[in-house]
Structure 1
């Protein structure tokens, strides 16, 4: 008999797509993954006003969902955080056979917190949330996902990072040329002597302190973009900041010098080791066996 294990996953966005793409590769589930991804991309466009649907959200939800067959994706309806709190259709669940295990992917708003509450043994979420909530702040900077577990207090949580999914973008330091020495790029060492404001996204204070190191964060104060203000524009007005980048082209368009890549923002497989067992170990092996830069052996 095939074992079934529930795995917490994000309800939408890049982290969910990274999980689905890995599931598709490891479990021969390309059709299911493509259906979920295309549906959510369309619904994101609807929420942002870039698509005008002919039917209301409830009719679309009924069309997308497959309540009678757990091997086909199910969706649900939530209030979005955007202005006006529009309804948004997001992923709910699907069962995916993967060898001798069935993965029951279950959507959660914050999978990491679901694992911390012992609701699941395994889950996927952004490594950023681990840095924001549980890593210890130290004078030395945290630079690699492989070093995250060493900074988690075992008395604080039973959750550990198992492996990365490879969907990497970077928290990158950037600054205007006016505050930099001639020809220099902003680095962690630059921050050690920088006296002023550092513009970051709200809630990222602990993350930024962790990745720059507390000895490099003593002289600056945090600032934040105004509501609906583009992050790169806010950083240009402030003088320096940290933001997620892929190519840095938008930052350069705002006259910013793109500097040091401080830390990879990546979707990671996590485990609550107090809830794990033999089935969870088989699933970990399934996802971690691919050779990636961030894969690691925990035990």
Structure 2
């Protein structure tokens, strides 16, 4: 039986989105649920919100069944929290899709694995695509469907196929004082008029330039939260910022107004167009069947 390898994230919301899609397309609901609950439990242990009697190595041995590829395998990842604890993360799972086997393979950065032609298909956050390869233009990038139009084919053969629907948004946040000083509407146009500090995560500088547009950020000075502070608190000090929000409740707790949703932070299905064949395309079509319409490939 032919096996198609697909790069997936090792943990977090993007991996859960992939597992839920796999469960909807194959008889894999039980194993998907077990992986999700296991990784949530391990995250809670790492954060100190749960305690375990067994060592991380004992738990790793209990979770993984190396004799059966249709059972999940896990591995250890050095977390960057205080003390750098070892965290159990996803490693591999093989799922039958009709006459094909699809092997989900955990990678720290699946998009980069596709760029290096290690995989034909993969899933990763749209954020990383914006940070790595999209062209910066005067006008803003506002939708996932427009990403491929801004990828230079000289830079990479990887393209976005579709979004997975697990959407949260990069959102404009500002203090009422800053908003009242310019306009009651906290939009991209507001940023065009604004001059001063704009607080963002340091890993998102290029992303923010892309989704606001280079015209809007003229006169803006990027600032960044330090390791000891919540992003919303740092944005409140700066007066204006961009941050991924779900409900905006934490931002409001810090006295911030919640403005325009600038761009979806969403898991996307990716393909390396130079690595496609008939079997890979069949798997790609199965993955995108449960999600949005295909995105035009440039």
TM-score by shorter chain over 0.5: yes
1:124 corresponds in structure 2 to 123
How high is the TM-score relative to the length of structure 1?
Answer: 0.97
Report runs of 4+ in structure 1 exceeding 3 Å deviation. none
Between the aligned partners of 1:149 and 1:187, the Cα distance in structure 2 is 24
- Secondary structure, aligned partner of 1:128: helix
Query: C-alpha root-mean-square deviation of aligned residues, in Å?
Result: 1.2
In the alignment, the residues of structure 2 paired with residue 295 and residue 264 of structure 1 have an alpha-carbon distance, to the nearest angstrom, of 16
Q: 1:140 to 1:14 in 2, by over 3 A?
A: same
The CA deviation at 1:297 is: 4.5
CA contact (8 A) 1:185 1:258 kept: no
Q: Where in structure 2 are the equivalents of 1:247-258 lying within 5 Å? A: 247-258=247-258
| Structure 1 residue 52 displacement after superposition | 1.1
Paired position in structure 2 for 1:286: 286
Q: Report the equivalent of 1:115.
A: 114
Show the 5 A alignment for 1:63-102: 63-102=62-101
Distance (Å, rounded) in 2 between the aligned partners of 1:161 and 1:101? 23
Alignment of 1:13-28 (within 5 A): 13-28=12-27
Number of equivalent positions: 297
Q: Find the aligned partners of 1:99 and 1:218 in 2 and give their Cα distance.
A: 53
Give the Cα separation in 2 of the matches to 1:56 and 1:204: 35
Structure 2 CA distance for aligned equivalents of residues 180 and 8 of structure 1: 43
Report how far residue 252 of structure 1 moved. Answer: 1.1
Distance (Å, rounded) in 2 between the aligned partners of 1:167 and 1:190: 28
Question: Deviation digits for residues 163-220 of structure 1, max 9, x if unmatched?
Answer: 1110000000010010113771311111112111111111100000000000001111
For the 8 Å contact 1:139–1:213, the answer to whether it is kept is: yes
Give the CA deviation at 1:290: 2.6
Shift in Å, 1:99? 1.9
Segments of 5+ residues of structure 1 without an aligned counterpart are: none
Q: Structure 2 CA distance, aligned partners of 1:241 and 1:100?
A: 49
Residue-by-residue CA offset, 1:226-282 (whole Å, 9 max, x unaligned): 113111111111100000111111111111111011000000000011111111100
Distance 1:8 1:134 in 2: 19
231-240 or 131-140: bigger deviation: 231-240
- Preserved contact between residue 172 and residue 245 of structure 1 (Cα < 8 Å): yes
Kindly indicate whether residue 20 of structure 2 is the aligned counterpart of residue 9 of structure 1. Answer: no
Tell me the equivalent position of 2:153. 154
Residue segments in structure 2 that go unaligned for 5+ positions in a row: none
Distance 1:291 1:90 in 2: 26
Hey, what's the Cα distance between the residues in 1 that align with 2:230 and 2:46?
A: 18
Closer/same/farther in 2, CA of residues 220 and 162 from structure 1, 3 Å limit:
same
